[in-house]
Amino acid sequence: MTEKLEGREVSASRRVLSGIVGEPLVHFLAIGAVLLGAYSLLDRAPEAEDASPKEIVLTVDGMAQLLMIFESQWKRQPTQDEFNAMIEDRIRQDVLYREALALGLDKDDTIVKRRMAQKMQFLAEDVAAQQEPTSDELRAWFAGHTDLFTVPARVSFRHLYFSPDKRGGGARDDAEKALAGLEGAPQNAAFAGSAGDHFMFQDYYGDRAPQAIAGEFGPEFADAVASLAPGSWQGPIKSGYGWHLVFVDNKTAGRVPAFEEIEQEIKTAWLGAQKAEAWRKAYEAMRAKYTVVMPVPADADVASAPAAKDAQTPGEPAGAPL
């Protein structure tokens, strides 16, 4: 059943819909409708394909979804003017969409092509997303992809910095001399700080992963620190800033968590992998239906590419199929 809504008829329809929407049970059920229907409501073709090309049909379900979307965003029901504006916006969308199609504005439009291609990918991925893996399937997949879940090693260290800007070419030598005086000293020795220069960031880094250390000091410094044994001052080690003496006080080895610890994360990663695989297979099947003809430079030796002649369409320039 459809209604042509104008003037007071819009107000009457709103009162009916508001009464329905006000029921708690409908609120509960509408959550799913909002999540599943909002995208299609705002980004699909006109709702009634068999309707007259000049007739825009608004359904009760569609209008109820508009109300639900408004309430979910603003935590209240719309006013009469806001409701009328939502209806008019929905009508405007359909009017402009149909007029654009009539003018052929969808043809050879990069943005339209990209959007439609994205929808095709979503459709292919949605098929995979509906699968529910068994625990055995997840365990088998996890066994072959443990690298995705490895917890990296972590290290805590203090460092003394020797600045090339202040010490010039003698920064490394100064660090070596300072190291001799720190032999056997704890990391927090009172005289240790006075041996080096002021560092613009931190003197102590606790429980840091190699990637984090590399991001601040550089990969060579991170690798060197990871190889140090805890419990003594060592170095000098070069970073992007200069030279450092380093005292590692704690190291935690990397590990692969047990399946039970991260089962939900494994499931999420598995679904992502299934989506990617479903899309790859779907695209390969679609791609196989087409022959792509590439242009050949005018001075190219066509004789060296006989396949180009085979793919040529009468009246078109020669091309090389992919």
> What pLDDT digit, counting tens, does each position of 169-181 carry?
999 999 999 998 8
The residue-averaged pLDDT of 76-91 equals 92
| pLDDT mean across residues, the chain | 79
With a pLDDT cut of 90, the percent of the chain lying above it is 44
pLDDT band at 131 (very low <50, low <70, confident <90, very high): confident
The residue-averaged pLDDT of 196-222 equals 93
Helices (H), 228-291: 263-287
Tokens read off for 204: 């102590």
Q: Looking at residue 304, what is its pLDDT?
A: 54
The beta strands (E) that lie in the chain are given as 154-162, 204-208, 233-238, 243-252, 293-295, 319-321
Helices (H), the chain: 8-21, 24-42, 60-74, 80-102, 110-129, 135-143, 164-167, 171-181, 192-195, 210-217, 219-227, 263-287, 306-311
Q: Looking at residue 229, what is its pLDDT?
A: 94
Task: Tell me phi and psi for residue 176, to 5 degrees.
Answer: -65, -40
CB 193 within 8 A of CB 206: no
Place of tokens 């199929």: 321
* pLDDT for residue 7 is more than 50: no
Task: Tell me phi and psi for residue 202, to 5 degrees.
Answer: -95, 155
Q: Looking at residue 154, what is its pLDDT?
A: 95
The residue-averaged pLDDT of 260-272 equals 93
Alpha carbon distance 203, 193 (integer Å): 9
Alpha carbon distance 171, 3 (integer Å): 84
**Which stretch of 95-99, 155-159, 163-167, 213-217 has the lowest confidence by average pLDDT?**
95-99
Alpha carbon distance 194, 158 (integer Å): 14
Alpha carbon distance 235, 229 (integer Å): 11
pLDDT in tens, 10-69: 554 555 455 544 443 334 334 344 434 444 444 444 444 455 668 888 889 988 999 999
Residues forming a β-bridge with 246 = 159, 234
Name the residue among 218, 207, 204, 78 with its Cα closest to residue 151.
207
Q: Looking at residue 224, what is its pLDDT?
A: 96
Sheet architecture: strand order including 204-208: 204-208, 154-162, 243-252, 233-238
Q: Where in the chain is the domain with CATH 3.10.50.40?
A: 154-251
Class of domain 154-251: alpha beta
The residue-averaged pLDDT of 238-244 equals 95
Tokens read off for 77: 């029901």
Alpha carbon distance 294, 50 (integer Å): 40
CB 124 within 8 A of CB 278: yes
